Structure 1
Amino acid sequence: METSDVQADLKHVLYTKEQIQQRVAELAAEIDKDYEGREVLLVGVLKGAVMIMADLARALRSHLKMDWMAVSSYGSGTQSSGVVRILKDLETDLMGKHVLIVEDIIDSGLTLSWLKTNLISRGPASVEICTLLRKPAAAKVDIDVKYVGYDIPNEFVVGYGLDFAEKYRNLDFVGTLAPHVYE
């Protein structure tokens, strides 16, 4: 899907495919340095993290394992409901492992705060967070995020895994969705 296919639905493009690829490579280099000599378990949060998880895993030079979790606090709307449900749990035992949660975006932080607490309770050696996007102005809880691709304004964004009502995930860039689409 190209920008021209959805131009009427977007206010503007925030990050191009090339900008995202460059930033993912930089994040991977930081992660490789921090986890040198240790195996990391990437925990992707479905569905939005599919793109960043795949690109990050390919960019990492270290050995790694991957697992997926699906949690829900969103309906088809644009705001977090604050209620978290596990839709798909991990298959991996976390005991003693170095866990890196991989997220597409952090809005309020409520879901991620709950998820991090849940994973810590499973006995890993460490739990850190990597996200492509973070909205500092939308934060409702303070959560330590070690690896951040970009801090963005509190606008509704789509693309590169991010959706609105399951649409726009397959864009290879991140854009701001025009209000007329979701209002």
Structure 2
Amino acid sequence: MPENMPEVLISEEEIHDKVEELARRISADYRDVDDLIMIGILKGSFIFLADIARHLTIPRSIDFMALSTYGNATDTDGAVRMIMDLRRNISGKHVLIVEDIVDTGYTLSYLVRTLAARQPASLKTCVLVHKPERSEVYAQIDYLGFEIPDAWVVGCGLDWAEKFRALPYIGVVHPEE
């Protein structure tokens, strides 16, 4: 485990500014919608989702899903497992998936396919960070916070072994140290 705090990759101020920008764009795009259903992907997205939701100027409701691709390892083979499904029907509703990170793309690709089959009126995605170098499959990203290098990142909901999730910035850890 790293002895020191993670080095800052994206500052708290940069994240705050990006959240405000994304919320403005989402609010404008959904200004005529009477209820946007925001779907947070647990555990990682809960802080980002709360930050975005607080800055929206439109009616919204929130639901959660939990999926896993990593299990106990740090690499994924692309297999996605649903741990917790939505509690409400999204058929005919406007849906925004909120995800903390897109790494290989498998999880978000699976989510978009799975939720599109439930026939929402619209389905878009909002992602805090994307590692384009790691992409293995196409993942629909409609609203993106930041593109980042291939590094293990923590903070703003992202964790390493359940640590550093509550950091107000996005930092880099080096698990091999």
Scaled to the shorter chain, the TM-score interval is: over 0.9
Distance 2:92 2:29 in 1: 17
Aligned residue in 1 for 2:126: 130
User: Aligned to 2:27, which of 27, 32, 36?
Assistant: 32
Q: Secondary structure at the match of 2:176?
A: helix
Give the % identical residues.
43
Q: Secondary structure at the match of 2:144?
A: strand
Q: Which runs of 5+ in 2 are unaligned?
A: none
CA drift at 1:137: 0.7
Distance 2:73 2:4 in 1: 20
TM-score for both structures, normalised by structure 1: 0.91
1:114 aligns with 2:114: no
Aligned residue in 2 for 1:178: 174
User: Aligned to 1:158, which of 151, 154, 160?
Assistant: 154
Bigger proportion of residues as helix: 1
Q: Secondary structure at the match of 2:14?
A: helix
Q: Which runs of 5+ in 1 are unaligned?
A: 1-5
1:169 aligns with 2:162: no
User: Aligned to 1:21, which of 12, 16, 23?
Assistant: 16
Q: Secondary structure at the match of 1:123?
A: coil
Distance 2:56 2:3 in 1: 33
TM-score for both structures, normalised by structure 2: 0.94
CA drift at 1:37: 1.0
Structure 1 ranges of 4+ moved more than 4 A: none
Q: How many aligned positions are there?
A: 175
Q: Which moved more, 1:75-84 or 1:108-117?
A: 75-84
